[in-house]
Chain A
Amino acid sequence: MTVLQKKSHNPIGHLTPEDVEQIGVELDAIRQSVIDTRGADDAAYIRKVIATQRKLELGSRAVLLVSMFPPAWVVGTAGLAVAKIIENMEIGHNVMHGQWDWMRDPKIHSTTWEWDNASPSEQWKHSHNELHHTYTNVIGKDNDLGYGIMRVDEDQRWVPLYAAQPVWNFVNACFFEYGIAAYDLELGKNLATKERRQDPDFRARAKVTLKKIRNQMTKDYVIHPLLSGPSFLNTLAANATANLIRNLWTHSVIMCGHFPEGVETFERRSIVGETRGEWYLRQMLGSANISGSKAMHFMTGNLSFQIEHHLFPDLPSNRYQEIAPQVQDLFRRYGLTYTTGSLPRQVASAWKKVIRLSLPNDFLGRNKGASVTDLPTSETAREHAAA
């Protein structure tokens, strides 16, 4: 992709400023319809998911106490991996978004939730809820575009480091929870200079992260293996495998959110003075869904409804599926592309981009990247986008 403002064919060029504001009005109405009907059924849903997840985790860990028996190892590892995925995605990510704050239950609240992941929720909420969800797909503002270690857009400048980005991406996928923790700490930036390394705020945050990682590791790699007695090594391997599966799965799902072909990116300047309608439009074009079964949606924490999630990050995740047809209809009526595809297709598309952009834009003449000459006038396009 190339920032939308530089494309020869502007996908929102046909929209008038009034259209954009009308899109905002219609989306506000969809949001309100969910808020108006939010209630006991939704509360029962999240409580059931949390109770089920905890029982699954307990059960899996109990089975792993005898993990020296191969069937127990397989069942326990699979159960624990699923439990960790549900905890991170359908529960943790969404609770931390404040999707369930309306219940006023202090135990299921964005201000109190701590998730089964290396990154402390405080730091995740800052980098994810605040930065990524506000500046979605704005080059230079949204670090989720490549996480600072990869180039996923033609308009990100190529440096030789990116040549190895398919490797980085795979390594990051395997250790994704630590990648997230490092990312939330802005480790690359903060370790770069002595001054930054010694910044008291950074040091305090790093201390919190290290403590969280220590607690996580103690649980998975010391306590539970010890409790397993003679199955020590088997449980250790099982927990490591469950964490690996969780890492690979969450990494794949998250790659599908913003990296597949068809997703638009935006120039930094284009969001100056952005209206609510324009913000909505950017979320619509900057996200991609994953199509699939109910079970697949659940296991992605309903991030398969990435477009709906980015439009309404604080609505309960169990309601995204229900509003998706209305959102899709809105895309159709305004002549916009609702990017979606099956999980294998979207994962392949995202990987293809990571591999393709590991090389400079004009390498072998394959990448038709942006250059100033492509533009009719970048200013006009920008105004369209901002309109």
Chain B
Amino acid sequence: MSLTAPSKPSTRAARPSLRRRFLRLAERATSPLLPADYLDLFDPLRPGADLRGRIVAVHPETADAATIVIRPGADWAGHVPGQYVRVGVDVDGIRQWRAYSLTHGPRADGNISITVKAVPDGLVSTHLVRESRPGTLVHLEQAQGEFVLPTDGGKFLFVTAGSGVTPVIGMLRNLFPVADDGVVRLARSAAYDIVVVHVAPSEPHSIFIDNLRALDDAGLIRLVARYDDEHGVLDVADLETLVPDLHDRATLACGPGGLLDALQRHHDERGLDLLTEQFRATTLVVGEGGTVDFTGSGTTVDADGATPILDAAEAAGVLMPSGCRMGICFGCVLPLREGAVRDLRTGAVTTATPGETEGQGVPIQTCISAAAGACVIDH
């Protein structure tokens, strides 16, 4: 239930009780739905609504990247540059959730922005970059993430690869806002000494390279741009050459897992500070059969690729909800928190990646789904 605005401590004692009574009346008038179900028709961004946002603009950044500016709902609690937001987008009618870094500091207009690079086979990123239009409603969660700059300044090295530049851009824009007549120098930003080592496959594929260059030209940061096609793939051992005072700096890195792992080893060996952020922690392996973990009972069941998860679980003594056992009644639906299953009737594979689903996972029909790799089911 989400009709009320957060109660204000200053209101008199009688107010909440009146509001509560009004609320109960409204619920009784709309049963079995909730007042919110009707209010959402008219104002989906109102205080008290599930957190949503409306796309207000889409700005292309490179050939395959775009910045999406979103007006968040009234209950958006704000964010710290470097944090990310989980966004739920309907692609081909199906709700998909992904996490994207917020690429601005808090903005005067109250909007937030994410910058998305369309990756090959990237269902959501491709949709956002190519198909998203102003006016579209998206679903949001509050900003999260520990990948933020200390507020009291210092010497930092940012290592960013590909779209790993996005959280860093958010931090830099917050420190050094760009106005029409150039970069604004803020007193609070004077205490930051920043080097950015930015890695990209090639210069044209480099998101935000213009912003980084502008900051470099203005003398606010030092930019070391490394392009794979020009300089070869970055070897982390070269960092000491590229950044001579590496040992005086705290490193913040965002990029693919391989780079971050190498950087972690490199910094551990030298006793250097490192804070990393990785968007995709897990790669889903789709195969035939696999283990099925049931979170509630803690049971793990070995299921082959031809047996419905329902049958495999029952054979192993797990008490399962069930119905028609032929895929029509939806009485056996349980949330797949993580993993892949195959529809035994059609061969279609359904996957669930933590962080890319809503709530507990993707609801699946266990009576016609077989494990297609290791699965975690919320039951």
Q: CB within 8 Å of B: which residues of A?
A: 28, 32, 35, 38-44, 51, 54-55, 58, 96-98, 101-107, 109-111, 114-116, 125-126, 129-130, 133-134, 212, 215-216, 218-219, 222-224, 227, 276, 279, 313-314
Q: 11 A-B pairs, CB-CB below 8 angstroms?
A: A54-B37, A101-B330, A106-B358, A109-B363, A110-B330, A114-B33, A126-B331, A129-B330, A129-B331, A212-B32, A218-B31
What distance in Å separates the Cβ of A31 from its nearest Cβ neighbour in chain B?
8
B209 lies within 8 A of chain A by Cβ:
no
B354 lies within 8 A of chain A by Cβ:
no
What distance in Å separates the Cβ of A284 from its nearest Cβ neighbour in chain B?
15
Task: Given A40-B92, A97-B330, A102-B94, decide whether A223 and B41 contact each other with a Cβ distance below 8 A.
Answer: no
Report which of A98, A106, A219, A279 forms a contact with B333, defined as CB distance below 8 A: A98
B298 lies within 8 A of chain A by Cβ:
no
On whether the beta carbons of B29 and A130 are closer than 8 Å, the reply is: no
On whether the beta carbons of B32 and A313 are closer than 8 Å, the reply is: no
What distance in Å separates the Cβ of A319 from its nearest Cβ neighbour in chain B?
13
On whether the beta carbons of A54 and B41 are closer than 8 Å, the reply is: yes
What distance in Å separates the Cβ of A62 from its nearest Cβ neighbour in chain B?
11
Nearest 4 pairs of A and B residues by beta carbon: A43-B93, A98-B330, A129-B329, A130-B323
What distance in Å separates the Cβ of A61 from its nearest Cβ neighbour in chain B?
8
On whether the beta carbons of B95 and A125 are closer than 8 Å, the reply is: no
On whether the beta carbons of B93 and A227 are closer than 8 Å, the reply is: no
- The interface residues of chain B lying within 8 Å CB-to-CB of A212 are 32
A125 to B359, CA, bound (A): 23
Give B333's nearest chain A residue, CB to CB: A111
B362 lies within 8 A of chain A by Cβ:
yes
On whether the beta carbons of B323 and A104 are closer than 8 Å, the reply is: no
- The interface residues of chain A lying within 8 Å CB-to-CB of B272 are none
B90 lies within 8 A of chain A by Cβ:
yes
- The interface residues of chain B lying within 8 Å CB-to-CB of A107 are 37
On whether the beta carbons of A219 and B29 are closer than 8 Å, the reply is: yes
For B341-375 the 0/1 string (1 means CB < 8 A from A) is: 00001101000000001110011010000000000
Give A41's nearest chain B residue, CB to CB: B93
- The interface residues of chain A lying within 8 Å CB-to-CB of B28 are 215, 218-219, 222-223
On whether the beta carbons of B333 and A110 are closer than 8 Å, the reply is: yes
Point out which of A58, A130, A227 has the most chain B C-beta atoms below 10 A from its C-beta.
A130
What distance in Å separates the Cβ of A7 from its nearest Cβ neighbour in chain B?
26
What distance in Å separates the Cβ of A212 from its nearest Cβ neighbour in chain B?
7
On whether the beta carbons of A130 and B41 are closer than 8 Å, the reply is: no
What distance in Å separates the Cβ of B350 from its nearest Cβ neighbour in chain A?
10
Task: Given A101-B330, A133-B324, A216-B31, decide whether A40 and B41 contact each other with a Cβ distance below 8 A.
Answer: no
What distance in Å separates the Cβ of A143 from its nearest Cβ neighbour in chain B?
15
- Apart from A54-B33, A105-B90, A222-B28, list 17 A-B contacts with CB within 8 A: A35-B346, A43-B90, A101-B333, A104-B95, A106-B359, A110-B333, A111-B363, A125-B329, A125-B330, A133-B324, A134-B324, A134-B326, A218-B28, A218-B31, A219-B28, A276-B326, A314-B330
Task: Given A215-B28, A215-B32, A219-B31, decide whether A39 and B92 contact each other with a Cβ distance below 8 A.
Answer: yes
A54 to B42, CA, bound (A): 11
On whether the beta carbons of A223 and B329 are closer than 8 Å, the reply is: no
B22 lies within 8 A of chain A by Cβ:
no
B256 lies within 8 A of chain A by Cβ:
no
- The interface residues of chain A lying within 8 Å CB-to-CB of B331 are 125-126, 129-130
Give A114's nearest chain B residue, CB to CB: B32
On whether the beta carbons of A103 and B93 are closer than 8 Å, the reply is: yes
Interface size on B, as a range, is 20 to 34
- The interface residues of chain A lying within 8 Å CB-to-CB of B93 are 38-44, 102-103
What distance in Å separates the Cβ of A283 from its nearest Cβ neighbour in chain B?
10
Within 8 A of A (CB), among B194-225: none
- The interface residues of chain A lying within 8 Å CB-to-CB of B37 are 54, 107
A218 to B27, CA, bound (A): 11
On whether the beta carbons of A314 and B32 are closer than 8 Å, the reply is: no
A41 to B95, CA, bound (A): 14
A14 to B328, CA, bound (A): 28
Within 8 A of A (CB), among B7-65: 25, 28-33, 37-38, 41
B106 lies within 8 A of chain A by Cβ:
no
A42 to B92, CA, bound (A): 9
Task: Given A129-B323, A223-B29, decide whether A104 and B358 contact each other with a Cβ distance below 8 A.
Answer: yes
- The interface residues of chain B lying within 8 Å CB-to-CB of A39 are 92-93
What distance in Å separates the Cβ of A131 from its nearest Cβ neighbour in chain B?
8
A39 to B91, CA, bound (A): 8
For B280-323 the 0/1 string (1 means CB < 8 A from A) is: 00000000000000000000000000000000000000000001
What distance in Å separates the Cβ of B311 from its nearest Cβ neighbour in chain A?
16
A112 to B95, CA, bound (A): 16
- The interface residues of chain A lying within 8 Å CB-to-CB of B25 are 223
- The interface residues of chain A lying within 8 Å CB-to-CB of B92 are 39-40
B162 lies within 8 A of chain A by Cβ:
no
B177 lies within 8 A of chain A by Cβ:
no
A327 to B271, CA, bound (A): 71
- The interface residues of chain B lying within 8 Å CB-to-CB of A125 are 329-331
Give B28's nearest chain A residue, CB to CB: A223
Task: Given A116-B32, A215-B28, A223-B28, decide whether A133 and B328 contact each other with a Cβ distance below 8 A.
Answer: yes
Give A108's nearest chain B residue, CB to CB: B95
B327 lies within 8 A of chain A by Cβ:
yes
Give B95's nearest chain A residue, CB to CB: A104
On whether the beta carbons of B94 and A55 are closer than 8 Å, the reply is: no
What distance in Å separates the Cβ of A238 from its nearest Cβ neighbour in chain B?
15
Give B323's nearest chain A residue, CB to CB: A130
Give B92's nearest chain A residue, CB to CB: A39
- The interface residues of chain A lying within 8 Å CB-to-CB of B345 are 28
On whether the beta carbons of A103 and B90 are closer than 8 Å, the reply is: yes
Give A44's nearest chain B residue, CB to CB: B93
Give A109's nearest chain B residue, CB to CB: B363
On whether the beta carbons of A58 and B38 are closer than 8 Å, the reply is: yes
On whether the beta carbons of A101 and B363 are closer than 8 Å, the reply is: yes
Within 8 A of A (CB), among B84-129: 90, 92-96
Task: Given A104-B362, A111-B363, A215-B32, decide whether A313 and B328 contact each other with a Cβ distance below 8 A.
Answer: yes
A107 to B36, CA, bound (A): 11
